[in-house]
Structure 1
Amino acid sequence: MSGLLALLDDVAAIAKVAATSVDDVAAAAAKAGSKTAGVIIDDAAVTPKYVQGFAPARELPIIWRITRGSFFNKLVILLPLAMLLANFAPWLITPLLMLGGSYLCFEGAEKIFHALFPHADARVEADMSVKDPGHLEEEKVRGAIKTDFILSAEIMTIALAAIEAPNVYLQAATLAVVGVGVTVAVYGSVGLIVKMDDVGLFLAQNARTGAGRGFGRGLVKFMPVLLKVLSVVGTAAMLWVGGSIMLHGFHEYHIAEPGHSIEVLAEAAAHALPQIAGAAQWAVTAALDGVFGLIYGLILIPIATRIVGPAIAAVSGKKSAH
């Protein structure tokens, strides 16, 4: 009997430790996940374009295929790589973060540049030349999964840098929770977004009341506006997150400017508005990080389109998209 009681006591102790670990994982995942908010917003803003032009019946299957690819990217490829980096080459985390930050700044700046100075997009023209819907779907899914891989790598690296875990197991579990949570949040939201116009159309045609039909028509008209707002918010988030990553990287390498000047201006705003000091300091910091991200991204555009892009195209044997 004493042996059984001792065993039960050990089981209870293990369960208690496990429960504590679950709480630790959840808390760490929430903290790490909050750091990736800007990239998540952009991911949700970017993904709906991959189902535009397809029959409504194909929208959710396409999103599900991209979701499975995203899970594979995060859990099978990126999670083990992140663990290897964290435990055997932690000095690589900051350079990789800055590489991802450069990508975010470039993408955000390129979107703004394209909006201000519209120009032909070879990728869009290539899509228009594809007549087979099945082949076009395969191309779109592959393109979405490739884009997801880049954004997922940035999300996982940001989360890894934010995780404060006492051991590798808790670190891996936290990163896995972040990966799963982000994927479900992004593609669940995307699924709702792309089907809302169908819901609105159904209500407009079949609702029993005038108010219901009016709501349906309003929903159909609102969805294009929502997609445009998401695109703008996503672009701003890219520049903000990318700029802040670069400035943090500069700080890690003992490069004070322009981060120090931004801190001074943010503190000045906080002192000028003591009633909302915290919000004012955050807003100024985020805005100036975004401005820096835009300037840095604009500098990267000719480098990426005239040097990096053609070099990659030459190595891969594919025509550059720019």
Structure 2
Amino acid sequence: MPSSFFALFDDIASLLDDISAMTKVAAGKTAGVVGDDLAVNAEQVSGSAADRELPVVWAVAKGSMVNKAILVPAAMGISLLETWLHGRGFSIPLILSLLTIGGCYLCYEGVEKLAHEAVKRHRRRNGTAVVEEIEELPEDLAAFERGKIKGAIRTDFVLSAEIIVISLGTVAMEPLLTKLGVLIVIAVLMTVGVYGLVAGIVKLDDFGLYLTRPDKNRGAKAFGRGLLALAPRMMQFLSVAGTVAMFLVGGGILVHGIPVLHHFAQAHADDMPGWFGVALFNIGVGMATGLLLLVAVSALTRLRKRRRQPAS
């Protein structure tokens, strides 16, 4: 009995060592996507009232954990199904197909945001900005906040899916328990890390204001004023970076998942100036895809409206 107990303890310790080692590898491979995830989510949750910023971040973080609680077992199950089908002569890229749909959503969302901003700027140039912006103010702020949270959670779902899939690919040859352990650790670490940083970013101006209080010393006040000057510029940067990240991640998924694009990128890899050229290509694919989807959705929306109108 004692020997079997110590053998079990040794097996558990060995499993934890494997999980720890593979988690480091997976974390390194997903670092780029995590950076995009941070930019997108910081931009998504910004714009709330000061006293509602942290509750909104907390709500999105909880939604992100629910997303990953769905994605981890789903990814494991789909991976096992793919392996089972492959063993019977069927080669169906289930995970890649689902990711491609998510990539299309990110591209569409990015173009839709750009189109909305372009319409607002056009209205400002025409002198109708005040009237239009008053009309756009939500009557029910709670409903507006819930909509913002739901949108952020939907975007997080796609980004989290890519993180989980990349991590799964890193541990593809590992035993089942090691795979599951790595995915769970990555899911928790990424959620805590990303939304902890998001909370710090959105409250940066409040911290700067706190440091400028009369009871603080000169150094703290100077640092606080620097944070107050930095905060709006950082939010403007994240707004741009978040949109670019949607195209970068979404376009990258499409380039990897659509054979024609993948072969084209490989054939012209030598012509691209390193990672920057690849990133530009992915962004271009993302913007083009999003634009096509926006045109298609707009056309379908107009068609539905015409069908609903009663015949005169």
Give the TM-score range, shorter chain: 0.7 to 0.9
Worse overlay, 217-226 or 291-300: 291-300
Q: Matched residue pairs, number? A: 285
Aligned counterpart in structure 1 of residue 74 of structure 2, from 73, 81, 105 = 81
What residue in structure 2 maps to residue 69 of structure 1?
63
Inter-CA distance 144–247: structure 2 relative to 1 (3 Å threshold): closer
1:265 aligns with 2:275: no
8 Å CA contact retained: 2:247, 2:282: yes
Deviations 1:137-194 (A, max 9, x none): 4444344333333433343334334432423322222211121111111110111111
What residue in structure 1 maps to residue 108 of structure 2?
106
Q: Residue type of the partner of 2:242?
A: G
1:13 aligns with 2:7: yes
8 Å CA contact retained: 2:111, 2:290: yes
Q: Residue type of the partner of 2:234?
A: L
8 Å CA contact retained: 1:70, 1:148: yes
1:193 aligns with 2:187: no
Inter-CA distance 44–119: structure 2 relative to 1 (3 Å threshold): farther
Q: Measure the CA separation in 2 of the matches of 1:111 and 1:38.
A: 23
What residue in structure 2 maps to residue 209 of structure 1?
217
What is the correspondence of 1:1-322 to structure 2 with a 5 Å cutoff? 7-48=1-42, 49-50=44-45, 52-56=47-51, 58-75=52-69, 77-89=70-82, 91-115=93-117, 118=121, 128-131=137-140, 133-251=141-259, 257-266=263-272, 269=273, 281-307=274-300
1:265 positional shift? 1.3
Q: What is the percentage of aligned positions where both structures have the same residue?
A: 36
Deviations 1:20-77 (A, max 9, x none): 3223223333333444445433433343443523242x322332222222212211x2
1:166 alignment partner, SS class: coil
8 Å CA contact retained: 2:78, 2:95: yes
What residue in structure 2 maps to residue 278 of structure 1?
none
1:258 alignment partner, SS class: helix
Q: Residue type of the partner of 1:14?
A: L
What residue in structure 2 maps to residue 276 of structure 1?
none
Q: Measure the CA separation in 2 of the matches of 1:213 and 1:189.
A: 23
8 Å CA contact retained: 1:51, 1:62: no
Inter-CA distance 172–305: structure 2 relative to 1 (3 Å threshold): farther
TM-score w.r.t. the length of structure 2 is 0.77
Unmatched segments (≥5 aa) in structure 1? 1-6, 270-280, 314-322
Unmatched segments (≥5 aa) in structure 2? 84-92, 124-132, 306-312
Q: Residue type of the partner of 2:156?
A: D
Q: Measure the CA separation in 2 of the matches of 1:125 and 1:174.
A: 49
- Alignment RMSD: 3.2
Q: Measure the CA separation in 2 of the matches of 1:238 and 1:30.
A: 25
Q: Measure the CA separation in 1 of the matches of 2:277 and 2:31.
A: 18
1:241 positional shift? 2.5
TM-score w.r.t. the length of structure 1 is 0.74
What residue in structure 1 maps to residue 126 of structure 2?
none
